[in-house]
Amino acid sequence: MGVPEALILRIAEGRDRAAYAQLFSQYAPKLKAFMMGRGLTAIEAEDLAQDALLNVWRKASYFDPSKASATTWIYSIARNLHIDGVRKQKRAQTLPEDLWAPEPEQAPDTHLIGVQDAKTIGVLMQTLSPEQREVVRLSFFEDLSHGDIAQALSIPLGTVKSRLRLALLRLRAAFETRAESKSV
Amino acid sequence: MTSINHHLDEVILLDYHRGRLNAGQSLLVETHLEMCPHCRTSLRLFDAIGASMLEEVVPVDMAEDALELALARIERPEEAPEPRVAPELPAYLKGIDLPESVRAAAFKPRYWGAPGVWMAHLDAPKDGRGLTYLMHVKGGMQMPVHDHQGLEMTLVLTGCFSDDRGAYHPGDCVSCEAGDHHSPLIAADDCLCLIAANAPIAPRTLLGKLLQPFARI
């Protein structure tokens, strides 16, 4: 198995079909599983995984490994497809290359997260309390409103939101500290 | 551009990321994102969190012929994307320095809600009690005190207004939850805002009550 970043670059540079087949086998079953978790049927999730990987093939030249890991980039493509499907309307500004494009002017209080990969976040997730991790996991994995999450955990809606806010603040702070220490 | 001091709530941003907002709320979030590097960073963080979960997920087998299909699909020529025709900018918005997201959205004809105040609703399918509209207020006006019955997000596009919690400049976002009430004061220049409300507002003063049927908000 090749490193996914290298596979995408091979697709971008040489339209490498063997690289695409490897990338497809690595990611399509995960995307299918993830989208079933978000409430799609097996057939819908399979179609979305197919479409997401097709977009990876077509947009491979936009991929910049210094900005995002392969998994983060592929996730953002699948997320956009999912939202477009949910909203059933096409808008101009939904492509991941917008969000992952270089920032034009760098304000001193902002840090690019780009180079951080999904594994780093996985490690940072472990620094959250189990309660915080639970609401984050439910928010990303399941197709539940915050009200549904509150019901599922038998806690007030306000508690769900405050836990989520705290967890996201902690992840962001840890993220930015790492980005800073890397760039120094 | 001056730096933005009032950001979107992380929970709203996450709901945007999850695709759980209606068209008007999404437009407001996208417009704020266009203006705000801080919140764009949050969106990247969400992508990285989602990606970490994608790595952990237990895979589900694809159909037997899935790879074959995938390899066939990449050989087909890519259909040209449908040409996107930007809606004609209404005359009442011409000459105003607007973010691209607002420029690309379609708004209905404006109407006057009160002297010095016009509004224009987003041309989008009705979504529950949700209302999204542009509101333009003449400089120096004080809005009547009103209560909020649901979540209302206001994004300043041009000009400036203030209430008892602070001052809001272009790019700033203020959210009012059910039960909040305020009486915004518009600064010297005219102020244009994009507002996405979950429920109608409830005016507290007689004047506000008299105006509400005309204002249609």
Confidence category of residue A53, pLDDT binned at 50, 70, 90: very high
Q: Is residue A113 included in any domain, yes or no?
A: no
Q: Is residue A31 included in any domain, yes or no?
A: yes
Same domain? For A19 and A90 the reply is yes
Q: Is residue A112 included in any domain, yes or no?
A: no
Same domain? For A90 and A148 the reply is no
Q: Which domain holds residue A73?
A: 4-99
Please list, in sequence order, all residues whose beta carbon lies within 8 angstroms of the beta carbon of residue B12, skipping any fewer than 6 positions away: B21, B25, B29, B153, B175
Same domain? For A12 and A75 the reply is yes
Q: Is residue A65 included in any domain, yes or no?
A: yes
- Summarised one tens digit per residue, pLDDT across range B176-212 is 887 777 788 888 899 999 999 887 666 666 656 656 6
Q: Is residue A11 included in any domain, yes or no?
A: yes
Helices B37-56 & A118-125, crossing angle to 10 degrees? Answer: 80
Same domain? For A140 and A76 the reply is no
Same domain? For A133 and A80 the reply is no
CB contact under 8 A, B47 and A99: yes
State the smallest CA–CA distance between residue B96 and chain A in angstroms: 21
Residue A150 confidence (pLDDT) above 70: yes
The closest of B194, B175, B208 to B135, measured between CA atoms, is B194
Q: Is residue A140 included in any domain, yes or no?
A: yes
Q: Quick one: tokens of B144?
A: 């009547």
| Residues of chain A contacting B53 with CB distance shorter than 8 Å | 34, 137, 140-141
Out of A99, A126, A158, a domain closes at A99
Give me the amino acid identity at A104. P
Q: What is the DSSP string of A60-87?
A: GGG--TTT--HHHHHHHHHHHHHHHHHH
Same domain? For A88 and A19 the reply is yes
What's the pLDDT at A31? 98
Q: Name the closest residue on chain A to residue B50, using Cα atoms.
A: A140
Q: Name the closest residue on chain A to residue B29, using Cα atoms.
A: A93
Same domain? For A133 and A90 the reply is no
Domain-by-domain residue ranges, chain B?
Answer: 1-83+104-217
**Number of domains chain A is built from:** 2
Residues of chain B predicted below pLDDT 50: 1
Residue A92 confidence (pLDDT) above 50: no
Out of A99, A129, A158, a domain closes at A99
Q: Is residue A160 included in any domain, yes or no?
A: yes
Same domain? For A122 and A52 the reply is no
**Interface list for A 128-167 with B (CB within 8 A):** 136-137, 139-141, 145-146, 161, 164-165
Q: Which fold has domain B1-83+104-217?
A: Jelly Rolls (2.60.120)
Q: Is residue A110 included in any domain, yes or no?
A: no
The closest of A155, A152, A154 to A143, measured between CA atoms, is A152
CATH of the domain at A172: 1.10.10.10
